[in-house]
Structure 1
Amino acid sequence: MTDLKVRVDKKKLERTAYVLKCVAHPVRISIIDLLEQEAQLTVSQLQEVLQIEQSLLSHHLTNMRDKGIVETRRQGKNVFYFLTDTTISDIIACIKGCKPVRQ
């Protein structure tokens, strides 16, 4: 039992917890999944797929941008959202691989 130790440094654990708290919402996970499929999307494109109000979507995107999960790029009158770190897509892969819990 003396060889047991935490294998991830404290800063990485704190960043991971910070990101997981931010994405711990079905809409935000869906946004990550969509941005994994298409490198960048506009609010209109995201809204069309997610079928939620623009104001609610903007709230989620702002939260994700403030936490450093997504960034924006302006092209003319369009603002495109993209993932800042594609390793967050590993979360989606993990979720897809999870087996449903029987109740």
Structure 2
Amino acid sequence: MSERRVTDGELETMSVIFKMLSDQTRLRILLALHNRELCVAHLCEALAMEQSAVSHQLRNLKAARLIKNRKDGKNVYYSLDDEHVLHVIDQVLEHVRH
């Protein structure tokens, strides 16, 4: 295995992402957004959670650049920022099931 060179900034960013992935609610949100975008109301319904709790987690995920949003009138729709995070989740799930 070759040595990986990682900068301090990259380590910090990786740490933030792993922190985001360490919470079941945030994982459930990320999985719910797989291949689709949802508004907060639909996420609340899918997760059976209050709007304030979901909104709080969405702010965290957006700050970590794991999700993005777009406005359509009064509604805000959320989606994954890119598919990379799903690859990480899939790898961990594969490890868990192994």
Could you list the structure 1 runs, at least 4 aligned residues long, displaced by more than 3 angstroms after superposition. 11-14
1:92 counterpart residue number: 89
What TM-score comes out, normalization by structure 2 length? 0.83
Identify which of 68, 72, 80 aligns with 1:71. 68
Shift of 1:60: 0.4
Q: Calculate the aligned-residue CA RMSD, in Å.
A: 2.1
> How far apart in 1 are the matches of 2:42 and 2:59?
16
Largest Rg, 1 or 2: 1
The count of residues paired between Structure 1 and Structure 2 equals: 97
> How far apart in 1 are the matches of 2:2 and 2:12?
17
What TM-score comes out, normalization by structure 1 length? 0.79
Shift of 1:26: 0.2
5+ long unaligned stretches in structure 2: none
> How far apart in 1 are the matches of 2:86 and 2:24?
14
Q: Relative to 1, partners in 2 of residues 1:66 and 1:99: Cα closer, same or farther, differing over 3 Å?
A: closer
5+ long unaligned stretches in structure 1: none
What's the secondary structure of 1:63's corresponding residue? helix
2:20 counterpart residue number: 22
